[in-house]
Amino acid sequence: MWINNGRTDSASGQVIEVTDPATEEVLDTVPAGTAEDVERAVAAARAAFPAWRQTIAVERAQMLHQAAAKMRDHFDELVRLLTLEEGKPVPENKEEIDWSLNTLDYYAELGRHIRGRVIPSPAVGQLSLVLKEPYGVVGCIVPWNYPILLLMWKLAPALAAGNTVVVKPSTLTPLTTLRMVEVAFGHFPPGVVNVITGRGEEVGDALVTHPDVPVIAFTGSTAVGQHIARLTASQMKKLHLELGGKDPFVLADDAPLEVAVEALAYAALINAGQVCTSTERVYVPRSMLPRFAEALAERVSRLRLGPGIEPTTDIGPMIGEPYRARVEEHVAEAVARGARVLVGGRRPPHLEHGFFYEPTVLVDVDHSMRIMREETFGPTIPIMAYDTFDQAIALANDTDYGLGACLYTHDARKVRRFYEEVRAGTIWINDPLTDNYAGPFGGMKMSGTGRELGEEGLEEFWQTKHVHWDIEGGVKEYWYPYGQN
């Protein structure tokens, strides 16, 4: 683990094996932390907080820029390690590391640009200030699918805002996190950035409920987000929860078929569909569906499965057997209810090892099926027909989730209706899954609370204080006793 700027083992003496999902071979081990380790990490972060919050913004910015530079120096090493433990193809992991270090640079500058504001005062001779202040220790709990990027979306703004941090990575992908923090944040004051490894029920729950951790920033499943909310209800912590999604992809009747096919294959299958904003439901005009589904199935059939480390790979493995089994259950249940598999729908016979599943296109689906209602989180593309654009919008909204939604059209009237009426935190028009450092990311409904990226992402790690200052300090005519004037 990484506490007070140094490597440390757990008091438990136990370890967790980290496996390559493409080969099922053990890559390395990390300590199986305990509540005692959480206490050590939180104590280090708490002790570092007073000095870190007083560090001037320009110095914090310089240190964040240095962290980004050090990540660039270790770029290839981090990409390779991330590919081995997480499974995505190298090009996708290059993008993840690049996005991560640029996030550091973005918040380095934003953090020294904003401190609060001066607002009009109620009377002459007075001053009203709105100040932004850090909370203290932030607990960052990060998933396995984008372990560095989704950490950086929390870590960079939390540090820029003046907080200290304790990170708990997924037990499936802790190696790159540990290495990245060691090489990129070793120049920070001891205790400002700490990493503890361990299982959720032991380390995660202890971090979430620790009385000296006022903020929990979590990305993961809705079920775990609800668990965190229940655990912390009596403590009134600030919860920053980015949870699950069931994102729709709607084609209008004027959508260019060839471009939409390429866009959908990417939106649904990047990282083997293991993205919170993956397209998991597709709605196509009934007259277009046969031609579109056939073109999509042909395109998907040409994608190459294999270990992410191989340059010929388009789609890597899933992260583990339980995740692949859930995809198989969703596909089997849909087929049993009348869906048809056009391509895929099985484990690839030519890959004996690894948690691979063929990218799968289904038609004749409806909202009674789990694959159209529950988060599948795998390489599946279920396609459903619609008759009117009103119906398409209603189908897009027919979900408990509200993370993202995509529309393909060049009809401005349909675009306006879509972004005004679809309840999702991010709306993509003709360009799915594109994020913007300056644009907030987050969900509605059961997809969570709070926002990452943009000014909103920095605001998540500040609390607001209003200062009212009467510079003259004279007696007010409205004080007691009443009626004297």
Q: Known catalytic residue: 276?
A: yes
Q: What is the pLDDT of residues 380-427, one digit of tens each?
A: 999 999 999 999 999 999 999 999 999 999 999 999 999 999 999 999
Q: Known catalytic residue: 328?
A: no
pLDDT at 483: 80
Distance CA 140, CA 216 (A): 6
Of 46, 440, 447, 14, nearest in space to 197 by CA: 14
pLDDT at 11: 86
Distance CA 485, CA 464 (A): 37
pLDDT at 133: 98
Distance CA 246, CA 449 (A): 16
- Structure tokens of 186? 């070793």
Phi, psi of 409, rounded to the nearest 5 degrees: -170, 160
* Residue recorded with tokens 């209810």: 337
pLDDT at 484: 67
Q: Which of 96, 276, 452, 460 is catalytic?
A: 276
* DSSP H or E run through 158: helix 149-160
Q: In what order do the strands lie in the sheet with 462-470?
A: 116-119, 126-134, 462-470
Q: How far is CA 22 from CA 57, 143, 348, in A?
A: 43, 18, 13
Give pLDDT tens digits along the chain (485 positions).
Answer: 999 999 999 989 999 999 999 999 999 999 999 999 999 999 999 999 999 999 999 999 999 999 999 999 999 999 999 999 999 999 999 999 999 999 999 999 999 998 999 999 999 999 999 999 999 999 999 999 999 999 999 999 999 999 999 999 999 999 999 999 999 999 999 999 999 999 999 999 999 999 999 999 999 999 999 999 999 999 999 999 999 999 999 999 999 999 999 999 999 999 999 999 999 999 999 999 999 999 999 999 999 999 999 999 999 999 999 999 999 999 999 999 999 999 999 999 999 999 999 999 999 999 999 999 999 999 999 999 999 999 999 999 999 999 999 999 999 999 999 999 999 999 999 999 999 999 999 999 999 999 999 999 999 999 999 999 999 999 998 999 998 65
Please give, one letter per residue, the 3-state secondary structure of 282-349: EEEECCCHHHHHHHHHHHHHCCCECCCCCCCCCECCCCCHHHHHHHHHHHHHHHHCCCEEEECCCCCC
* DSSP H or E run through 152: helix 149-160
Domains for the chain: give ranges and CATH numbers: 2-243+447-468 (3.40.605.10), 247-429 (3.40.309.10)
Give start and end residues of each alpha helix (H) in 56-127. Answer: 57-73, 75-86, 90-111
Do the beta carbons of residue 363 and residue 339 sit within 8 Å? yes
379-400 burial, b if ≥16 CB within 10 A, otherwise e? bbbbbbbbeebeebbebbeebe
Prior bond of 481 cis (ω within 30°) = yes
Planar angle of CA 216, 217, 221, nearest 5 degrees: 110
Q: What is the DSSP letter of 221?
A: -
Q: Name the burial class of residue 233, with classes exposed (0-12), middle (13-18) and buried (19+) by CB atoms within 10 angstroms of its CB.
A: exposed
Distance CA 423, CA 74 (A): 40
Q: Which of 85, 86, 92, 242 is catalytic?
A: 242
Distance CA 351, CA 148 (A): 28
345-368 burial, b if ≥16 CB within 10 A, otherwise e? beebeebeebbbbbbbbbbbbeee
Q: What is the DSSP letter of 196?
A: -
pLDDT at 485: 56
